A and B are shown apart, each in its own frame.
Chain A
Amino acid sequence: MSYEITLMTTMAISVLFALSLNFISGFCGQISLGHAAFLGAGAYTSAMLSKASVPFLLTIPAAAICAALLGAIIGLASLRVRHDFLAITTMGVGFLFVGIIRQQEFFGGEIGIAGIPSSGFGKVGFMLICIGLALTFALFSLYVRRSWMGFVFKSIADNEDVTRVLGIDVSRYKLIAFIIGTGTAGVAGALYAHHFRFVGPDSFGFVESVSVLAMVIVGGIGSVWGVIFAAALLSVLPMLVQFIDDYKLLLYSGLLFAMMRFSPDGIAGLCNRLFSSIPRRVSANNGDKR
């Protein structure tokens, strides 16, 4: 049972992290290749505070604020660049974050921070906190999607210039998306730090950023349910099928490639197409069969 609890906790944290990226990249269309930096910002903040005897629950808002501040700065910078430039810039931010952290002894340098104290809620309690937070944000995402803000986000994602012409302050909304998305990633980071009890520069590098983006895209960019499913699955899949250890990464990347090749709108898209043969209420996507 103990192992299953560990797995559930890992899944919940990954889901929260993936949903936070979905907010930025899925809802608002800003592709970020450096999202792990915000997970890291939250994780490090929480880890260092926790080691300084700050109670776990207090470290969560601290982590969120720290990550969101970083997110705001990056968000402001990202307003200058678009599309592919944005993707590369965010990638650069990720590398810069890791590069700076590695060099400063204050953050533990290369070696990272080990021995992070336990959350104090016990295994089951901690798992429930993680699931609770993930669920809360999922509900929040669903709410936003149907709200005016979500509508603006989608408009920006579809066509930024037209949206601007309509008189909407695109910059402000992009910034909001960034702040919310990165702040939430910070929360996920705090949870991460207390689950794995260790943070190091390698935990938040480019591979992590790509992995979480993969979760979002495989789930179906913009789809809350798809992302939840994909994140839950992909986060624990390696541990379940560890007997194929040697070929693990190959299988992963192979599946990812196959997904992009045959169903780029992810699992959500797959499901949509599967069920579109059943007559449903009219929605924007129902018309096009690929």
Chain B
Amino acid sequence: MKKTKQISAILMGALLTVGTGYASSIKIGFNVPLTGFAAADGKSALNGAELAVEQANAAGGVNGKSLMLVVYDDQASPKEAVPIAQKLIEKDEVIAAISGSYSGSTRAAAGIFQEAGVPYIAAYAVHPDITRAGNYVFRTSFVGEVQGRAGAKLMGETLGAKKVSVITLKNDFGKSLAAGLKEAASNYGITIVSEYEYGIKDRQFGPIVSKVKSDKPDAIYATGYFFTAGPLVSQLRAAGITVPIIGQEGYDSQKFIDIAGPAAEGTIITTSLNRDSASIETKNFIREFESKTGNKADMVAASAHTAVKVIVAAMRKAGTTDKAALREAISATSVVAATGNISFNALGEVRKDVQVQIVKNGTWREYSVISDSKLLAPPNQ
């Protein structure tokens, strides 16, 4: 009896607190992994988004109202993301939403937002099908194929690699990047000599490392997140493999360097955040992020920050919270953000330069910038 009383008391209290005033703020939904394997990226993305919201509110809010982020933990799982999308739309009645999460959950949620006519921006999820959900879905980061193509150009032209081994993370992220690479490889004289796949929970890559070693490639294109790339790169180097290792934005975090240690030196990645950027936007972001959180800025934080900025700019321009008008304003965006100059094509894909960073002396530094607009043109449908 006591137990049931206690449970009902807790439930009542919960329902009451949840009900209390959202008052007159403008709500933006945010699905992000705060628990589970992707929690590290999620936390970072959340910080980036929160920073942007604070900055917008400090500058007087939007159209006189303050901005509020409605955050739900989707554990980077599509299964969780769908009910969250439904909740954001139906219960919280957000006027727009951002995905601070990985491709799997973003893709699942995108369809829901599209059907409900709520603008949805994927901050850094790369899977091509996300924007194909419809004209209400946008992406502020590179679609997988584009980044893959940039990687091909980087390896073929800049590094002069002819034979490449590909190590692919078996999920949306890894596979779409690898697909992009494979598509563009022959244009840059690259032959893919072998491809190996691994699962997101793997940390021991012994068999793959041995096999790659025996393949003797000129360069290795390895997709993953910092918690897989760190061990992978460390193990590749420990096995005596000295050829360049090319990663992507999944590596883009100080944690990668912490884990791989000295083995991280010389790792090159294609990403969106240039630590040595001359752009004021980027410099400000990096500085303010570090002072707010005490951590170094990374790509996911910068991308989430950018996504919020895009919505804020669009809202100011549209002057209304009508979702259709907002969508129009977003698609006509031209804004300078931490990750570069943001504008969208007809599909909602961003057109911007690819930043190439390298690990030098234990931190990420600029290596080069790829600006080939034809190469980097995202798909149109």
Contacts and interface: CB of A to CB of B under 8 A. Distances in A.
Direct contact of A and B (CB under 8 A): yes
B175 A109 contact: yes
Contacts of A2: 90
Contacts, number: 88
Contact of A114 (B14, B17, B111): B111
Interface in B80-121: 82-83, 86-87, 90-91, 103-104, 107-108, 111-112
B111 A198 contact: yes
B318 to A, nearest CB: 25
A248 B84 CA distance: 14
B367 interface: no
Interface in A160-202: 196-198, 200, 202
A114 B17 CA distance: 35
A248 B73 contact: yes
A202 B78 contact: yes
B133 A112 contact: no
A110 B15 CA distance: 37
Contacts of B18: 240-243
Interface in B161-215: 170-172, 175
Contacts of A86: none
Interface string B228-243: 0000000000000000
A202 B112 contact: no
B219 interface: no
A168 to B, nearest CB: 39
Interface in A220-264: 239-246, 248-249
Contacts of B87: 3, 6, 239, 242
Contacts of B175: 109-111
B22 to A, nearest CB: 13
A200 B171 CA distance: 11
A198 B103 CA distance: 13
Interface in B35-79: 35, 71-73, 77-79
Interface residues of A, number: 30
Contact of B77 (A115, A202, A270, A274): A202
Nearest to A105: B175
B104 A200 contact: yes
Given A197-B111, A202-B78, A240-B15, A111 B83 contact: no
A208 B337 CA distance: 40
B34 interface: yes
B133 A197 contact: no
A108 to B, nearest CB: 10
A125 to B, nearest CB: 16
A248 B78 contact: no
A10 interface: yes
Contacts of B35: 245-246, 248-249
Interface in A199-221: 200, 202-203, 208
B278 interface: no
A249 B35 CA distance: 9
Contact of A112 (B34, B104, B111): B104
Contacts of A115: 111, 133
A102 interface: yes
A114 B15 contact: no
Nearest to B70: A242
B5 interface: no
B79 A114 contact: no
Contact of A110 (B1, B34, B111, B172): B172
Contact of A111 (B1, B14, B82, B104): B104
A114 B107 contact: yes
Contact of A245 (B72, B104, B170): B72
Given A240-B14, A248-B35, A198 B133 contact: no
A6 B83 contact: yes
A3 B111 contact: no
Given A3-B86, A110-B171, A270 B3 contact: yes
Given A246-B73, A270-B3, A110 B170 contact: yes
A198 B90 contact: no
A114 B108 contact: yes
B129 interface: yes
Nearest to A1: B90
Contacts of A197: 82, 108, 111-112
Contacts of A270: 3
A81 to B, nearest CB: 27
B36 to A, nearest CB: 9
B89 to A, nearest CB: 8
A198 B83 contact: no
B127 interface: yes
Nearest to A271: B4
Contacts of B172: 110-111
A245 B79 contact: no
Given A114-B107, A242-B87, 12 more contacts: A3-B87, A111-B107, A111-B127, A111-B171, A114-B111, A114-B129, A115-B111, A197-B111, A200-B78, A202-B78, A202-B79, A203-B79
Interface of A: 2-3, 6, 10, 102, 109-112, 114-115, 196-198, 200, 202-203, 208, 239-246, 248-249, 270, 274
